[in-house]
A and B are shown apart, each in its own frame.
Chain A
């Protein structure tokens, strides 16, 4: 079917499909780098930390202006990220505790702001709660422009910075010795990461945002051992999951965010089973099963 015709038949659904596909593409590609950097939970922490910023942007402006809310949320997320890093560097607090602590306190502030907003209810603030669980169904055409910008930015940055990011991801010290400006590329990566979390909040919500970032990457890791293939596959499967999840949620009238996450989880399990099956087959034709698992053929899970 010609997609343009279909756009005319159901423009609202088409908008949502396009939006989730663009978001899935951006977060899948960017998130797989987070998985490789063992920084998967940063997305979860940042999405919680961005919530008060979103509300503060709304409070300052009084309307649901997307620009103000994105700016507020980005500032809070950036502050949270800096604070987490500073905490880990300057105290004995471990990374896991630092993340949980910053996340809990920032979100606590968000709850305070939210309860403050609820005391003077206005028509404008209706729907602010959607950011907790996401409302992909409410995507508008101007959101598509935002999501498309995000996807283009992410792809462009990946294209330009690919070789540097690859070296930084796998061997930071080596990257420094080569004279790569590590802090610049880290900042760019963090900037894009925060931007995709903040923009993605509206679709996936605070709780499910992290899944959108890391599920495609984790699943892609089962299919390949090359970073280029992994990031490509993660981006592509993120987009496909977005489209498929939106259609499924539309058919079943399930909430869209959780549907996409459940589909992604199924895709992850499927990828694991295929990998497992292939691994077992290899091990029967030569190695004993024990050797293959201790050799860790796929390379994942080495501890």
Chain B
């Protein structure tokens, strides 16, 4: 471990980070459109395109393979839509039908070509991030670093350019496609644009990351970001940050424990989501709990004020409004009475005189409001 972060490690980390950013950007749009599972469908379907393209060009290094893979990803999305619209199958079932069918076709084809092609179906699922640095891009005689880093980096740049060009119309289409159509922005164009980009992302990333990690990276950071941010730009920026953290943490822990890096990165997207779920404002479990506590306190203060208001002018006000006797009348334990009345006193809804509680004008208004008088 003396030379832990050597050049190969840094290259692997670079590939992981670029892949994470590429997936997170494309994935955010899928998650927002409730199409998260398309990531799953696409990443399983591209194998068929690769096999078919290979049967034509017979070269595993050919860029035609990437083209075929992207095309089959888009084809899978089209098929899902066809099943929904023309064949009357619900969205969830349509996805569940399409990708196993395409994946099966690919596996059968590979099994028939086994003697002539070294396509490892296992690697499609698991990826080989660990080996990415062994496949450098060589220009002339100079090795320019891992080929996947260049592909994924190019993809990130492409996505950023597309985002910069289309951010405004994309935002309108994504949140109100009917309005977008009415002002002349084509939802269909953007729908297919985003799906094609997602397919391209799956294709570029699955070789290094594996199809399951692609799904985790597309959905995890975006879902976490949605718990924190309310604006599209915020969601995108946070997704990228979360993806980078997942990739780095996953790489470091995976390398230290000497286990699958892809698996560790996927686990870390889950970890970040878990933390967000716990701590996010408004939607987080802590925030939900605090909100509930606050609502209970508000309700109890209201109850106390209504009680005092009902009795403060009556003949038995000495008895009913006495601080010491509230435990009996409200059937609250001592500690609760002191906590609730203490909070109400602090907020000047109550005043205390010689052990008697009285509503302040503000407290009386509140009680009247609650009683709907």
A103 touches B40 (CB 8 A): yes
Residues in chain A near residue B226, CB distance under 8 A: 92-93
Residues in chain A near residue B111, CB distance under 8 A: 254-255, 258
Question: CB-defined interface of B21-46 with A at 8 Å, one 1/0 digit per residue?
Answer: 00000000001001111011000100
CB of A197 within 8 Å of the partner chain: no
Query: Which parts of A79-126 form the interface with B (CB within 8 Å)?
Result: 87, 90-94, 96-101, 103-105, 107-116, 119
CB of A214 within 8 Å of the partner chain: yes
| Partner-B contacts on A (CB < 8 A) | 35, 38-41, 43-44, 48, 87, 90-94, 96-101, 103-105, 107-116, 119, 129, 132-133, 206-208, 210-211, 213-215, 217-218, 221, 254-255, 257-259, 261-262, 265, 268, 272, 296, 298, 300-301
New A-B pairs, 19, CB < 8 Å, besides A43-B96, A104-B212, A211-B96: A40-B92, A41-B96, A87-B277, A93-B227, A96-B34, A101-B216, A107-B216, A108-B212, A108-B213, A108-B267, A111-B210, A112-B260, A119-B258, A129-B122, A258-B107, A265-B101, A272-B87, A298-B88, A301-B87
B107 touches A255 (CB 8 A): yes
B93 touches A105 (CB 8 A): no
A208 and B121 alpha carbons, distance in the complex (Å): 13
Partner of B100, one of A101, A111, A113, A210: A210
A261 and B215 alpha carbons, distance in the complex (Å): 23
Question: CB-defined interface of B232-266 with A at 8 Å, one 1/0 digit per residue?
Answer: 00000000000000000000001001111011111
CB of B273 within 8 Å of the partner chain: yes
Instruction: Identify the interface centre among B37, B90, B267: most chain A CB within 10 Å of its CB.
Output: B90
CB of B285 within 8 Å of the partner chain: yes
CB of B360 within 8 Å of the partner chain: no
Query: Which parts of B202-244 form the interface with A (CB within 8 Å)?
Result: 210, 212-213, 215-220, 222-223, 226-227
Given contacts A97-B219, A104-B213, A258 and B108 within 8 Å (CB-CB): yes
A101 touches B96 (CB 8 A): no
B97 touches A211 (CB 8 A): yes
Question: CB-defined interface of B72-109 with A at 8 Å, one 1/0 digit per residue?
Answer: 00000000000011011110110111001101110110
Residues in chain A near residue B285, CB distance under 8 A: 90
